[in-house]
Structure 1
Amino acid sequence: MHGEAEVSKGLPWFEYPLPLHSSRADKCKLTAEQCAYRAGHWRYWYVADWVYALGTIYFILAIIALSLIGFWTLKLAPASLRKKSWWQKIVGVFRFASYRRYDIKVLRYQTPSIAVSVLLVIGALFFSAMTLGPKPILATKTNMIALLTGVSHERLMVFHIWVGWAMFVLALIHTFPFIIYHIWKGDMEMEWKMSLVYWSGVACLIPQGYLTFMSLPWIRNYCYEFFKATHFLAAVFFMVFFFIHCGGILTSWDYFIAAGALYSVSWLYSQTRTYLANGISLRATLTPASDHVLKITIPVGTMRWQPGQHVFLRFLTLGVHALTAHPFTICSAPSEGDLGGKGNASRQSSSTLVFYVQPRGGLTGRLAKLASQRPGLSVPVLAEGPYGGIMSRPLHTYDQSLVVACGAGAGFSIPFVISHIRNEIADLRASKSDTDSPVDPARRLRVLISTRDQRLPEWYDAALAEYLEENSLPVTLNGVEILIHLTSAVENGVGSSSQSCEQVEEKSPADSVSHVAPERSSKLPFKLLSGRPDLSAVVRDATLQTGVSVGIAVCGPKQVLKAVQDEAAAAQLRILNSEAGSKEVYLHSESFS
């Protein structure tokens, strides 16, 4: 009868009054020897929150502190220190660890960088005895970790994903012993009916398992729109049931309060930037740039950003797509008024965000369809950001700069070209006013673009020329070399290649650029080439120049990133071994899929 009474009450629930913390009072009913063993520092359950949870917090804070010190030391290092050989070698060690990745061909898997892998291994060893739940602080776009360490939110995502896997495995390790023990004891059914922790624990594991397995790349990429929408819903269910499962045991709820406070501050800050700083009256104009590329333009007034940054856009009139924001790499530069000194400062009083997007399915496919049906269509949009980009030294401060981009990711390179031209003009003006500060004639920028889109040179040329003219800048590219490799059949039947830039690392040296494509009308001096570029050779040549600093930015799929990262890592080894080559090599990678 007692069991029936318990069942009629439904699921077990909290007992009131509900304390924030549970009691630590403990009465050991075992033998004296067993009680002494149980009271060991790493085994005593009633101080587990102090021993393990606080230990975890201290470990994470130590990693953040080391990253913070490294980032700001590198960022604030004076030029005289950066020229020292010993300094360049120390920096080279960390950059090699940050750039080098490995392919596990049997599993078709590319490892994270050595630095990330080392951190994950250390974390796995440290957390092997933990059964703590994941916190969402690594997943937010605006978070203090990114601000302090200079690691943008998209690069922190790898830790967010791996910590999620670690916590799921540890949750299973935490769960199975209880289930096995009570099945052996014969009271599993009674525990399920009478104890809150069992049903709430299962309710935690279901959304946690969903979040973990749906984050697998081949699943996430296949149904990204569905994953993105359900990801937030599953996370809410998980946190609610996890809160219930913890039940105020010891100080468990303190961590929910702390995590909630951190997440709320990040969320409120991002919403403030979206609605107050960027405004709610923005409108996006949709125009087909080519058969394969969609152009999105958004006038944004006085908003400022840096090359390589991105914003999250929420289109408000696209049905369910209005519920989520999507990241888009900025392919323009903010207006700077009369940089050319021609007295036309008022001609362009506000800045414009421009994006060149390769439509796929989901949101971008819907936008492309609207643009093809009604070119120039204007739709309301919310913009959150900018985020990411190069958070250390700007690329134009290096002696030699190299920007590599593929497909619609070519737009990623446009802000770097504009930044180079701006700074060239600023240096010229400075040299005229101060004869002791001459312009460095060796400072150059090389842009390498690989694409199948035959119309890319047209919209790329128009994008650069339009900005230069509107900002009264000379339509010249002194110190800039732009190479556009057309990887499919070139117009007029000159050359062909069915391979895409994604396959660049699979080619042999014999497959290198075969010849120059036909000349075409252009306002700016480009070189059009037929065939796929040998990215490894290009990066190697750039980093073998003796005594110069080299800054590299790359935007492309993972195969392209891997080819560039491997050569950048090899350059760090040359620096460490005092071999001939560049004195400093920096790499910024931007994933494009």
Structure 2
Amino acid sequence: MSLSTPLIPRHDMAGGNVPGHVNADGVYVPTSEERTAYQALHIPWAEQVKYGYYALYFLCGLLFTFLITNVIWKVRTRYNVKIPLYSRAVALLRLLTYPQLPVNKWLSLLWTFGPLGPNLLLLAGLLFVSAFTWINQYYYYPPYYGSAPLYLRSEWLAMATLPFVYVLGSKRNIISVLTGVSHEKLQVLHQGAAFNFTYMSLVHTIAAIIRARQEKGLVYATQTNEVYVSGFVALSPLLVLFVGALPPFRKSFYEAFYWVHIIMALFFAGALFWHGYKLLDSDAYMIATIVLFLLGVTWRLVMMFLDNPILHRATATLIDEETIKLMIPTLYIKWSPGQHVFIRFSTVRPLESHPFSIATVPRPDEQSNSVRNMVFLLKPLSGFTKTLFEDVRANEGKVTYKVLIDGPYGGAGHDLRAFDSVLVIAGGTGITWALSVLQDLAYYGKGQEVRMIWAVRHTDALSWFEHELETLQKRMPSFKIQIYVTRENPRSTATISVDETKEHHPADEGRSIPIDTPATELSMSFDKTHKFPSNPGRPYLPALIEEQARTTQGSLSVACCGPPSMLVDCSNAVTKAQIGILKGVYPELNEVFLKSESYGW
């Protein structure tokens, strides 16, 4: 029937619509053939799946790019192969990757800002889906002519992202294998992919509501169309996942967040199956998501079983009022420098597992079939670590627990061995990560220059590591140690006046130096009995890193573990060094690589 043909209003007894006639609202209701013909002239319903393919091409293209980058990096670090144009190309790439914004407590409420590189990838993804969603301004069909094109475009863009959301959130996953990036570094991409998925899902939902209102209303649509009901059921856990993962909730209620996140993710997957089962390509995306996710879970469970044929025994010792030393002998687990494991204690909040950095690496004389000691230093803050601290203190400062170990994950690997000079920077208990990196260089390095900068609150902490640091100095004659004490206990034998206005700059040697302490504490005491001299105040990392870059011949690696502000300083200082390489400011320096690790994700 032509749209210009005179029409006589007609509707059925139930108030519904009769195809080929005008309904009670005065709107023509097309027949199935007319609806199909109209869509064929404009945007066919079944062809909308192409937008999902576009998203897959984009995401798989990025994955392939990082696979090639990982292969080049392995060749560079393991075989020290000279690659043409490598130095300048890598400097340019890192110039676009390393920079970080200063820590801002208000911005951090909305997003966990890290290096620029991952955020550029997420911005590219956001622009990609937005362009394919909004540039084509044919958003809606006339009433009763089918699902809105806007509704369908956003649906398939979201569905193509779904497998990546679940895989990026898994501890063991295929993306980590292909790219060499550990799960904790992928978390920002997991959150960004989840944001895009939620964004497209909301566009999809709102477009469906507008279409329903243009026809018989949302209430009528939910009463007569199960797709609307299942869609709202699926949207509910998705919004809980999204809001609950925002930094204020995730960081303040991590233990609750962890379980809610898992339960809501499973609930959402089930609701999504109900919503899109047997609808064009929906099954393929959902099945791929479940298969890849279950493969990761199975891989993780199998490794946990192989690494824990019996529960490990962990001895927790109270070193002081701020630190617990945890030692776990193991015959089954192999690890590399800078890695962490998740530990579940059988008698202390057994439903939770928490990540801890390993402070040691296996020595050359420790064979793979011998018992090796994993050592951890835990700083009780709140939540689980505070509970563990109180339990150890209640048991006279020493307790043995049965624990289940999941891991290891992450780490610096053996990459730092390939560099001519290594600068290791640690803040507070970040020394646990740094120690394993230093031990690996001492045991297996090529004799490169190694320097460590450690910022710690109190000189008491130095006694924990004096023996280990002395051992490292004996094994690495070129090993240099600089220690900065940012606060001090009032009991000490020497008093040093400080000026609170500046950080400790290398040029300030011999002058009064700043200190991270309240203004009322204008004199600090330092125990001078320690074997390693210390400087009061925070280290001025930009100048220290620039000095290291200026004096390095060949390649330099900066390895940093500490609080967010320290990571920002290191990232931006190393970024500045990339500019120096491109401009030829450092004629003897051909590469600066940054390896960083934060306290949490």
Same structural fold, with TM-score higher than 0.5 when normalized by the shorter chain: yes
1:450–1:575 CA distance, 2 compared to 1 (3 A): same
Aligned to 2:400: 378
1:416 to 437, 444, 448: 437
State the 1:233 CA deviation.
1.2
Q: CA offset at residue 118 of structure 1?
A: 2.4
Task: Check 1:413–1:111 CA distance in 2 against 1; reply closer, same or farther (3 A cut).
Answer: closer
Q: Where does residue 323 of structure 1 map in the other structure? A: 351
Question: Aligned partner of 1:492: which letter?
Answer: T
What amino acid sits opposite 1:377 in the alignment? Answer: V
CA contact (8 A) 1:96 1:569 kept: yes
Alignment check: 8 A CA contact 2:326 2:376 kept: yes
> Cα gap change, 1:207/1:527 in structure 2, threshold over 3 Å: closer, same or farther?
same
* Conserved 8 A contact 1:300-1:350: yes
Are 2:590 and 1:588 aligned?
no
How do residues 201-240 of structure 1 correspond to structure 2 at under 5 angstroms?
A: 201-240=231-270
Alignment of 1:26-45 (within 5 A): 27-30=32-35, 34-38=38-42, 43-45=43-45
SS in structure 1 of the partner of residue 557 of structure 2 = strand
In structure 2, distance between residues paired with 1:358 and 1:48 = 53
Residues 79-90 of structure 1 mapped to structure 2, 5 A cutoff: 79=80, 81=82, 86-90=85-89
Cα distance between partner residues in 1 of 2:185 and 2:277: 34
Q: Which moved more, 1:365-374 or 1:301-310?
A: 301-310
Alignment of 1:300-315 (within 5 A): 300-315=330-345
The 2-side partners of 1:335 and 1:552 are apart by: 23
Q: Normalised by the size of structure 2, how large is the TM-score?
A: 0.80
Q: Which has the larger radius of gyration?
A: 2
User: Does the 8 Å contact 1:487/1:498 carry over to 2?
Assistant: no
**Partner Cα distance (1:498, 1:91) in 2:** 40
Q: Is the 8 A contact 1:211 1:235 kept in 2?
A: yes
Does 1:404 pair with 2:425? yes
Amino acid at match of 1:264: L
- What fraction of aligned residue pairs are identical, expressed as a percent? 27
Tell whether the 8 Å contact from 2:331 to 2:370 is kept in structure 1 after alignment.
yes
Partners of 1:97 and 1:156 in 2: CA distance = 18
Structure 1 residues 579 and 568, CA gap change in structure 2 (3 angstroms):
same
Q: Which residue of 2 aligns with 1:519?
A: 528
Deviation sequence 1:433-487 (CA, Å, 0-9, x none): xxxxxxx6xx22111111114321111224556xx5xxxx995552212222111
Check the 8 A contact 1:333/1:415 in 2, yes or no: yes
| Match 2:456 to one of 451, 467, 491 | 451
1:332 to 360, 369, 394: 360
Judge conservation of contact 1:356–1:408 (CA < 8 Å) in 2: yes
Report deviation, 1:261: 1.0
How far the C-alpha of 1:228 sits from its partner, in A, is 1.4
Q: Give the Cα separation in 2 of the matches to 1:206 and 1:516.
A: 57
1:152 is aligned to 182
| 8 Å CA contact 1:99, 1:569 repeated in 2 | yes
TM-aligned CA distance change 1:217 to 1:508, over 3 Å: farther
Please point out which of 568, 581, 597 is paired with 1:562: 568
Kindly indicate whether the alpha-carbon contact (under 8 Å) linking 1:513 and 1:529 is maintained by their aligned counterparts in 2. no
State whether residues 504 and 560 of structure 1, in contact with CA within 8 Å, keep that contact through their aligned partners in structure 2. Answer: no
User: Equivalent residue for 1:20?
Assistant: none
CA distance in 1 between partners of 2:172 and 2:418 (Å):
27
Maintained 8 Å contact 2:103/2:564: no
Contact 2:341 2:405 survives alignment (8 Å): yes
After TM superposition, give the deviation of residue 415 of structure 1 in Å: 1.1
Structure 1 unpaired stretches of 5+: 4-25, 339-344, 428-439
Contact 2:505 2:540 in 1 (8 A): no
What corresponds to 1:432 in structure 2?
none
When residues 463 and 365 of structure 1 are mapped into structure 2, their CA distance, relative to the original with a 3 A threshold, is farther
- Equivalent positions of 1:220-369 (< 5 A) are 220-318=250-348, 321-337=349-365, 349-369=370-390
Per-residue deviation, 1:303: 2.5
CA contact (8 A) 1:310 1:330 kept: yes
Contact residue 493 and residue 526 of structure 2 kept, 8 A: no
| Letter aligned with residue 115 of structure 1 | G
Given that 2:91 and 2:579 are in contact with CA atoms closer than 8 Å, whether structure 1 keeps it comes out as yes
Correspondence for 1:494: 495
Q: Secondary structure at the match of 2:493?
A: helix
Aligned partners of 2:455, 2:201: CA distance in 1, in Å? 46
Is 1:505–1:560's contact at 8 Å kept on the other side of the alignment? no
Measured at CA, do residues 508 and 363 of structure 1 come closer, stay the same or move farther in structure 2, by a change above 3 Å? farther
Q: 1:203 is matched by which residue type in structure 2? A: V
Equivalent residue in structure 1 for 2:412, among 381, 387, 390: 390
- 1:101·1:562 contact (CA, 8 Å) conserved in 2? yes
C-alpha displacement at 1:539, in angstroms? Answer: 1.1
Q: How do 1:10-29 and structure 2 match up within 5 A?
A: 27-29=32-34
Deviations 1:10-35 (A, max 9, x none): xxxxxxxxxxxxxxxx9542496x44
Q: 2: CA distance between counterparts of 1:322 and 1:30?
A: 59
Deviation at 1:36, TM superposition (A): 4.0
> Which runs of structure 2 are paired with 1:423-434 in the superposition (5 Å)?
423=444
Q: 1:47 to 1:406 in 2, by over 3 A?
A: same
- Any conservation in 1 of the 2:313–2:403 contact (CA below 8 Å)? yes
Q: 1:122 aligns with which of 116, 121, 124?
A: 124
Q: Which residue pairs with 2:21 in the alignment?
A: none
Structure 2 gaps of 5+ residues are 1-12, 15-30, 134-153, 516-523
**Contact map agreement 2:458 2:488 (CA 8 A) in 1:** no
- Of 534, 556, 572 in structure 2, the residue corresponding to residue 550 of structure 1 is 556
TM superposition shift of 1:545: 1.8
Q: Partner letter of residue 191 of structure 2?
A: I
Q: Distance in 2 between matches of 1:279 and 1:504?
A: 50
Give the length in aligned residue pairs: 526
Cα offset, 1:556, TM superposition: 1.1
Query: Root-mean-square deviation (CA), in Å?
Result: 3.2
